[in-house]
Structure 1
Amino acid sequence: MRSKGIFLLLLLGALTSYYVYSPIPNDIEEKWKLMFTDCFFRSLSNLADLSELVGLKDYMGVMMFITFAERVVPLSDERVQVTEEMFDGVEVVVYQPSQQGGVGELRRAVIYLHGGGWCLGSSRMGPYDFLSRKMVTDLGAVVVSVEYRLAPAHHFPVPFEDVYRVVKHFLQPVVLARYHADPGRIAVSGDSAGGNLAAAVSQKLLQEPEQEVQLKAQALIYPVLQALDLNTPSYQQNQHMPILPRTLMVRFWSEYFTSDKALFHAMMANTHNSPESAALLKFVNWSSFLPEPYRQAYNYRAPPVVATGMHRPSNNLSHSIADPRASPLLVPDTALQHLPKAYVLTCEYDVLRDDGVMYVTRLRRAGVEVTHEHYPSGFHGALMFTLWPTDFEIGHRMLGNYVKWLKENL
Structure 2
Amino acid sequence: MVLLLGILLAVLTVFVAVAFYYEHPKAEIPHGFSQRGKLYLLHFLMNFGFGLGQFLEKMGIVKDIYVLRALMDGIPPLKDNRLLIEDLRFEKVKVRIYHPKMSTSGQRRGVLYFHGGVGLFGSIQAYERTCRHLARKSNSVLVSVGYRLAPEHPYPAQFEDCVTATIHFLRTAQDYGVDPSRIIICGDSSGGTLTAAVAQALVNRRDLPKLRAQILIYPFLQCMDFDLPSYQQNKGVPILLKERTITLGLRYANKDVRLLEKITELSYIPEDLRVKYKKWVSADHIPEEFKARGYKPSPTLPFAKETFVMLRPLLNPVFSPLLAEDSVIARLPEAFILTCEYDVLRDDGLLYKKRLEDHGIKVTWCHLQEGFHGTVFLALWGGLFAFRSGKKGLEKIVNFLRLM
- Does the alignment pair 1:221 with 2:217? yes
How far does residue 156 in structure 1 lie from its aligned partner after superposition?
Answer: 1.8
Within 5 Å, give how 1:316-335 maps onto structure 2: 317-318=311-312, 320-335=313-328
- Does the alignment pair 1:347 with 2:340? yes
Q: Secondary structure at the match of 1:24?
A: coil
Identify the range of structure 1 (79-88 vs 379-388) with the bigger mean alpha-carbon deviation.
Answer: 379-388
Contact 1:97-1:136 within 8 A present in 2 as well: yes
TM-score (norm 2): 0.86
Distance in 2 separating the partners of 1:39 and 1:142: 37
Partner in structure 2 of residue 40 of structure 1: 45
Distance in 2 separating the partners of 1:293 and 1:139: 33
Contact 2:84-2:98 within 8 A present in 1 as well: yes
Q: 1:98 aligns with which of 78, 81, 101?
A: 101
Within 5 Å, give how 1:304-383 maps onto structure 2: 304=301, 306-309=303-306, 311-314=307-310, 317-318=311-312, 320-383=313-376
Contact 2:77-2:129 within 8 A present in 1 as well: no
Distance in 2 separating the partners of 1:52 and 1:115: 23
Partner in structure 2 of residue 12 of structure 1: none
Distance in 1 separating the partners of 2:301 and 2:321: 21
Give, as a single letter, the amino acid of the residue that structure 2 aligns with 1:348.
Answer: E
Partner in structure 1 of residue 109 of structure 2: 108
Contact 2:188-2:218 within 8 A present in 1 as well: yes
How far does residue 155 in structure 1 lie from its aligned partner after superposition?
Answer: 2.4
Distance in 2 separating the partners of 1:168 and 1:80: 24
Within 5 Å, give how 1:69-84 maps onto structure 2: 70=74, 72=76, 77-84=80-87
Distance in 1 separating the partners of 2:51 and 2:173: 46
Partner in structure 2 of residue 402 of structure 1: 397
Contact 2:116-2:122 within 8 A present in 1 as well: yes
How far does residue 388 in structure 1 lie from its aligned partner after superposition?
Answer: 2.4
How far does residue 43 in structure 1 lie from its aligned partner after superposition?
Answer: 1.4
How far does residue 73 in structure 1 lie from its aligned partner after superposition?
Answer: 7.2
Q: 2:233 aligns with which of 211, 231, 237?
A: 237
Partner in structure 1 of residue 248 of structure 2: 252
Partner in structure 2 of residue 117 of structure 1: 118
Q: Gaps spanning 5+ residues in structure 2: where?
A: 1-17
Give, as a single letter, the amino acid of the residue that structure 1 aligns with 2:146.
Answer: E
Give, as a single letter, the amino acid of the residue that structure 1 aligns with 2:395.
Answer: G
Q: Secondary structure at the match of 2:208?
A: coil
Distance in 2 separating the partners of 1:308 and 1:92: 41
Inter-CA distance 101–285: structure 2 relative to 1 (3 Å threshold) = closer
Within 5 Å, give how 1:34-73 maps onto structure 2: 34-51=39-56, 57-68=62-73, 70=74, 72=76
Inter-CA distance 280–327: structure 2 relative to 1 (3 Å threshold) = farther
Q: 1:180 aligns with which of 172, 177, 180?
A: 177
Contact 2:217-2:338 within 8 A present in 1 as well: yes
Inter-CA distance 332–63: structure 2 relative to 1 (3 Å threshold) = same
State the percentage of identical aligned residues.
Answer: 33
Distance in 2 separating the partners of 1:109 and 1:74: 24
Partner in structure 2 of residue 147 of structure 1: 146
Inter-CA distance 253–267: structure 2 relative to 1 (3 Å threshold) = farther
How far does residue 331 in structure 1 lie from its aligned partner after superposition?
Answer: 1.6
TM-score (norm 1): 0.85
Contact 1:192-1:222 within 8 A present in 2 as well: yes
Contact 2:376-2:391 within 8 A present in 1 as well: yes
Q: Secondary structure at the match of 2:195?
A: helix
Q: Secondary structure at the match of 2:349?
A: helix
Q: Secondary structure at the match of 1:64?
A: helix
How far does residue 282 in structure 1 lie from its aligned partner after superposition?
Answer: 2.1
Give, as a single letter, the amino acid of the residue that structure 2 aligns with 1:400.
Answer: E
How far does residue 267 in structure 1 lie from its aligned partner after superposition?
Answer: 3.1
Give, as a single letter, the amino acid of the residue that structure 1 aligns with 2:237.
Answer: M
Inter-CA distance 312–325: structure 2 relative to 1 (3 Å threshold) = closer
Contact 2:167-2:208 within 8 A present in 1 as well: no
Distance in 2 separating the partners of 1:86 and 1:302: 49
Give, as a single letter, the amino acid of the residue that structure 1 aligns with 2:107.
Answer: L
User: Structure 1, residues 115-146: CA drift from partner, whole Å, max 9, x if none?
Assistant: 11111111211xx2222222222221100001
Inter-CA distance 198–270: structure 2 relative to 1 (3 Å threshold) = farther
Q: Secondary structure at the match of 2:76?
A: coil
Contact 1:226-1:355 within 8 A present in 2 as well: yes
- Does the alignment pair 1:136 with 2:139? no
Q: Secondary structure at the match of 1:130?
A: helix
Q: Secondary structure at the match of 1:267?
A: helix
Distance in 1 separating the partners of 2:339 and 2:117: 16
Distance in 2 separating the partners of 1:213 and 1:302: 46
Distance in 1 separating the partners of 2:54 and 2:303: 28
How far does residue 98 in structure 1 lie from its aligned partner after superposition?
Answer: 2.3
Equivalenced residues, count: 381
Contact 1:250-1:268 within 8 A present in 2 as well: no
User: Structure 1, residues 77-118: CA drift from partner, whole Å, max 9, x if none?
Assistant: 43100001100100011001125544xx10011101111111
Give, as a single letter, the amino acid of the residue that structure 2 aligns with 1:87.
Answer: F
